Amino acid sequence: MAMEFPFPLTVTVHHRVINETGDWSVTSSYELPGCAISISVGRTSRRSFEYESFESDVTRADIVLYAPPASDIRGDDTVTLPDATVWSVWGYAADYASPFTNWRPGMQVRLRRYTG
């Protein structure tokens, strides 16, 4: 049984590839219900939603997407949230299973977005 959220989100996952001109192109998209997001509290985000660079006007934001187990999320995908913002998958989409009970609560996917 997967983890269930009282107020789940439906996101859109876009699979991409690099085309012959070196640009990204979307090959397919699908809606993924039963998700949730949280603020990323890792070392690189300094325990905040946004990290601002003093050298430029670029702002980076990191969040974590919690998705149902075995969701088809790849390292080169993008994810569109319900507010229409587009985020890039950053790193490996981890699908966890308990070594004691084999309980699979779902996937944890770090998402990143740059603005500015």
DSSP class of residue 43?
G
| Sign of the alpha-carbon dihedral angle for 40, 85, 111, 45 | negative
Q: Are 95 and 47 in contact (CB under 8 A)?
A: no
pTM above 0.85, yes or no: no
Q: Indicate the pLDDT class of residue 51, thresholds 50, 70 and 90.
A: low
Q: pLDDT per residue over 60-112, tens digit each?
A: 889 999 999 999 999 999 999 999 999 999 988 888 888 999 888 899 999 99
Which residue's structure tokens are 């934001």?
Answer: 61
- Please report whether residue 34 resides in a domain: yes
- Please report whether residue 36 resides in a domain: yes
35: domain CATH number?
2.40.10
Q: pLDDT per residue over 13-38, tens digit each?
A: 999 998 888 899 999 999 999 999 99
Helix (H) or strand (E) holding 10: strand 9-18
Full domain range(s) for residue 77: 9-115
